[in-house]
Every structure is written in C-alpha cells, then in structure tokens.
Amino acid sequence: MDSHTYPVTRTDAEWRARLTPEQYAVMRNHGTERPGSCALLHEKRAGTFSCAGCDQPLFESKLKFESGTGWPSFNDPVAGSVETTVDRSYGMVRTECHCARCGSHLGHVFEDGPPPTGLRYCINGVALKFEPAA
C-alpha cells in the first residue's frame, strides 16, 4: 500500500480477519481475480456496490454496464468514493483505482467506456459488496 493515510485504517491482522484470502490478495496486495469468476459480474438489480473492506458506497447499479472483459464495469463512481494512482506494474502504465476511505485496491479505470463519461471502471468483483435497493 502507499504511504497515504486513509480515514479507515486496520492492522494487517485485522484486514486478514475481515477479508477472505482472495479479497486480501486483491484489495491489499493489488491482485486481480480471474475474469468471469465473480457473481457480481452478472448482478443486474438496482442497488449499490460498496467496498468490501470498509462498506463505503462506490458505484450505483444504474452506471454498471457489460464491457465483455469479465469484470464488473461502471461509468462513474459515487462522488468522492474512489481515488486513482498511476500503476506501472507488468511493464505498462495504467490508472489504478482504490477506495478513498480505506485505500483498498479495486481495479483500474480506462478511457474506452461508453458515453456519457467515456470511462470504464473495471473493478474486481471480490472488492465489492452489493446491497439491493429497498
């Protein structure tokens, strides 16, 4: 993780107790889940996708779209919920996105999404929790 201080902080032991091993690998060690492996990829109900690490609302279902990539994709996050950094891993330059509240790695954002934003927030499903609308 970077040296930025987030509003929600936990010890490594607390993160390991809160997250599954797959969530820990993705969210705390910048991993990536297998494409097509998460049930949230196919979630179509109205509701909110929140951070599995701290419960902060991140994305509204109305901005979710099928990108064909194998990961849940969104046009735009909830205002102020996601921050970005430059990711130079694997010999490429990408824009990483992480939770603004706890710093957990969520995925990456690309400039090949549909209107109106033209953005594709490509998010690891294990980093999300879904709460259906009431």
**Domains and their CATH numbers in the chain:** 12-132 (2.170.150.20)
Q: What is the pLDDT of residue 1?
A: 44
List all residues 6 or more positions away from 101 whose beta carbon is below 8 Å from its beta carbon: 6, 7, 8, 51, 54, 56, 81
Q: Which tens digit of pLDDT belongs to each residue from 73-88?
A: 999 999 999 999 998 8
Report, as an integer, the average pLDDT of 36-55: 96
Percent above pLDDT 70 for the chain = 98
Asked whether the predicted pLDDT for residue 133 surpasses 80, the reply is yes
pLDDT, the chain, mean: 94
- Known catalytic membership, residue 122: yes
Sign of CA dihedral 88, 102, 65, 34: positive
Enter the tokens of residue 46: 């109205």
Asked whether the predicted pLDDT for residue 71 surpasses 70, the reply is yes
State the catalytic residue, choosing from 38, 54, 97, 122: 122
Q: What is the pLDDT of residue 2?
A: 53
